[in-house]
Amino acid sequence: MTSMQKAELNSGRPFPARRQNQSRCFRNPLQFLKANLATSLTAALLVALSAACSKSGGEKEAGTPGAEQSQVRRGTNGETIVILDAGTQKRAGLQTAVPSAAQWQPEAKGFGRVLDPAPLAALMADLVTAHVAMETSQREFDRLRTLAEQNNASARALQTAEAAARRDQLLVESLRTKLALGWGKAALNRDDPPAFVKSLVNGDSSLVRIDLPAGESLRSAPISARLVLLNDPERPVTAGFFDAATSVDPQTQGQGFLFLIKGAPPGLPPGSSLTGYLQVAGDKLSGVVVPRSAVVRHEGKGWVYLQTGEDAFVRHEIELDRPTEAGWFVPKGVTAGDRIVVSGAQAVFSVELNGSGYMSGARD
């Protein structure tokens, strides 16, 4: 013990608190550690309880009545109703509109392909060559006939010229018949058949053959055709009626028609398969035009959402076989008095799938 400590001890004054703690720590270290550990555990427990109470209060506040919610319900007819409050609709960018009324010309559906113009071009070249030969031999025959009348040409030479002219004329007629039987009379009745064939070869226009299903036929020639390409089904191509096919396709066994596409778009090489909707005479169909942005595709079908209340939406199936420039013509199921979702339909669909257990595999 130092002299200072001895003095303080003799004076009768107690040690300072710090020195008392240090003295107890050194005198009984195990008891000191237990006391500090209990204090630390108590403080940690108080912090945890405070955080839990704060979290519980936050969850309770978020779940109070009036908080924005979305859910899926079942209607009286078993339909799925998606409920979206105003806030959710605003966040999803939902917009609704009334589809515009429209009319549609009756159609007959068929299938076909873009024809290869090479055989037609070869046949036309043979016809042009034969026609030139016929004109040449005919002029020679006329010249010799004039000379024969003047006794300046032999009868034998005249007969030979006449046979050559007749032969060339028969060849031209044979080629014209062959061309008409294979490609229709319309190819020959054009103002300039060679120029027409040249436009097909250059890709400026295209000939398409559409065959109806077996057993179906049209009483009159179609007005035009709406051709749908396999690689671009939403942008149909309009083609004018060219001629009736002169033969039956051995595979389809249906009535065939030829259509001419002027200013053929790219992506139409010969042999391309397509679906044709032949416009026929008759009363027009009444319906509406649904914008493309309103359509949701699911399981190979097309759907739109009808708004049945301020916050209620029901998915409804529509046909997607009548595309237009503004969308899809729908003859039934949707009317001009219905309000449909034209923006944000995919968001409504996602809510329906999640709410019905589709994404989790818990469907009925």
Report which secondary-structure segment, H or E, holds 273: strand 273-279
pLDDT exceeds 90 at position 209: yes
Position 28 scores a pLDDT of: 52
Could you read off the pLDDT of 350-362 as tens digits, one per residue? 988 887 544 444 4
- The Cα 314–Cα 298 span in angstroms is 15
- pLDDT surpasses 90 at 170: yes
Task: Quote the pLDDT of residue 291.
Answer: 92
Residues with Cβ within 8 Å of 61's Cβ and at least 6 positions away in sequence, in order, are none
Q: CB within 8 A of 363, min separation 6: which ones?
A: 356, 357
User: Model confidence over 220-263: pLDDT tens digits?
Assistant: 888 889 888 877 777 788 899 999 888 888 887 888 999 999 87
Tens of pLDDT, residues 95-143: 999 999 998 878 888 999 999 999 999 999 999 999 999 999 999 999 9
Element (DSSP H or E) covering residue 208: strand 205-211
**Average pLDDT over every residue of 48-61:** 44
| pLDDT band (50, 70, 90) for residue 3 | low
State the pLDDT at residue 31.
52
**Beta pairing partners, 316:** 304
Res 60: pLDDT = 39
Q: Residues 207, 200: contact at Cβ < 8 Å?
A: yes
State yes or no: pLDDT of 304 exceeds 90: yes
Q: What average pLDDT does the chain have?
A: 79
Rounded to the nearest 10 degrees, the angle between the axes of helix 155-183 and helix 118-149 is: 160
* Stated pTM of the model: 0.57
140-157: pLDDT as tens digits: 999 999 998 888 888 899
Q: Do residues 314 and 308 make contact, with C-beta atoms less than 8 angstroms apart?
A: yes
Q: For residue 23, how many other CB atoms are within 10 A of its CB? A: 11
Other C-beta atoms lying within 10 Å of the C-beta of residue 305: 26
Range in 27-31, 81-85, 86-90 with the lowest mean pLDDT = 27-31
pLDDT at 207 over 60: yes
As a whole number, mean pLDDT of residues 297-307 equals 91
4-54 confidence digits (pLDDT tens): 554 444 544 544 444 444 444 445 544 544 445 444 444 444 444 444 444
